[in-house]
Each structure stands twice: as C-alpha cells, then as structure tokens.
C-alpha cells in the first residue's frame, strides 16, 4: 500500500470573469467526499490542497484529477479541466525558477499536462517579446511578465505554441500553495 501524499488540484478557468462559478466551500466538500483529508482551498481561482490516504491510485495525478473532475461534473454540472501536482512537484517547480529577481506576481508558473516536444519548447522560448521571457523545463513553463499578464504577448500563446494543456499561477500563489502543503 502506498504512503499518504499531499497534492494540489489546480482547476482551469473557474471563477474567471463571472463564468463557471465554483464556490470554494463546495469544492472542499466534494474533494472530501472522495475520501481525501486535510482539504483546504486558496483564493477563488480553484486551488485545492489535500492529502490522500495511500492506496492504489494515491500517487497517480491523472487518477486524482479524474476523480475530482468527475465529482464536479456530477455535483455541479460543470466540465472542468484539472491538473494535479504533488508537493514534491511544487517544490521542484519553485527550486527551478529561472528568474529569481522577478516580482512574484509577475512571474507565472504554468503547469503543463505533459512535457512539450523539445522543438516546441525552444520555439516558445525564442519568441521575441521583450521585456518578456520564458523557460520551459519538462512539465513546467516559467513566464517572466514584467508588464503583467493582461499585457502579455507570451501568455496567450502558451498552449497553442507548446501544444499542451496548461494552467498557470503566479509565483506568490505557488509559494503559498506549497506552504499549505507543508502546514
């Protein structure tokens, strides 16, 4: 039997612009209904920290995401894409930040559904968009956006250029999520 693990579920596209509303209390309840423990949410954009009790699918991010996605569809009648990452994944993403001097609210860490091809990653990184820059490492893309996300040239091209699904959080949010995993 697997050991318990701590994970973060990152919901894509909820509570943005008033669309696809998911109350965080409802989200906590439905994640708990799947048997997960220590369920906590952070801000309204769909971030859920939880622990598993071990078992056959306890360390399978895809299975965890599928379970939560199914429960959201069942109870809230919404089809929400979800990425699940372990505490270790968050630690590695934070340890790999290539732009240490950047404002934490202007550095996006995009969690990718899978690693893009080397060619796609290199092409994305080489887009000329000064002062913006990007680095892709395995299933994480780092976007340094000094002028913010709203004015970004790189951010809207992320999924199309990398040809993978992604969900992004700023550095400050990822740091907070990791602290929640540890607490």
* 167-176 pLDDT, tens digit each: 999 999 999 9
Domain 6-87 maps to which CATH number in 3.30.70.1280, 3.40.50.10320, 2.60.40.60, 2.20.25.10?
Answer: 3.30.70.1280
Q: In this structure, what is the dihedral angle of CA atoms 110, 9, 163, 103, given to the nearest 10 degrees?
A: -10
Rounded-to-integer distance, Cα 179 and Cα 117, Å: 31
Cis amide bond preceding 131, omega within 30: yes
Give the fold, CATH level 3, of 96-182. Answer: Alpha-Beta Plaits (3.30.70)
User: What pLDDT does residue 13 have?
Assistant: 77
Average pLDDT, the chain: 90
Per-domain residue ranges for the chain? 6-87, 96-182
The answer to whether 6-87 and 96-182 have equal CATH topology is yes
Q: Tokens 């732009």 appear where?
A: 99
Count CA atoms closer than 13 A to 102's CA, side-chain side: 25
Please give the model's pTM, rounded to 2 decimal places: 0.91
Give the range among 12-21, 56-65, 66-75 with minimum mean pLDDT.
Answer: 12-21
């Amino acid at each position: 039997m697997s050991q318990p693990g701590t994970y973060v579920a990152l919901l894509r596209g909820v509570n943005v612009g008033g669309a696809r509303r998911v109350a965080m209390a409802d989200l906590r309840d439905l994640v708990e209904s799947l048997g997960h423990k220590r369920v906590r949410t952070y801000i309204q954009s769909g971030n859920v920290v939880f622990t598993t009790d071990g078992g056959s699918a306890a360390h399978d991010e895809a299975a965890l995401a599928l379970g939560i996605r199914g429960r959201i569809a069942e109870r809230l009648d919404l089809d929400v894409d979800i990425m699940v990452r372990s505490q270790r994944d968050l630690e590695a993403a934070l340890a790999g930040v290539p732009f240490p001097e950047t404002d934490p609210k202007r550095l996006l860490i995009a969690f990718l559904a899978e690693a893009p091809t080397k060619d796609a990653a290199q092409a994305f990184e080489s887009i000329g968009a000064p002062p913006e820059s990007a680095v892709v490492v395995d299933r994480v893309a780092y976007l340094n956006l000094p002028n913010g996300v709203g004015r970004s040239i790189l951010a809207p091209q992320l999924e199309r250029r990398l040809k993978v699904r992604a969900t992004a959080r700023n550095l400050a949010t990822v740091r907070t999520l990791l602290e929640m995993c540890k607490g």
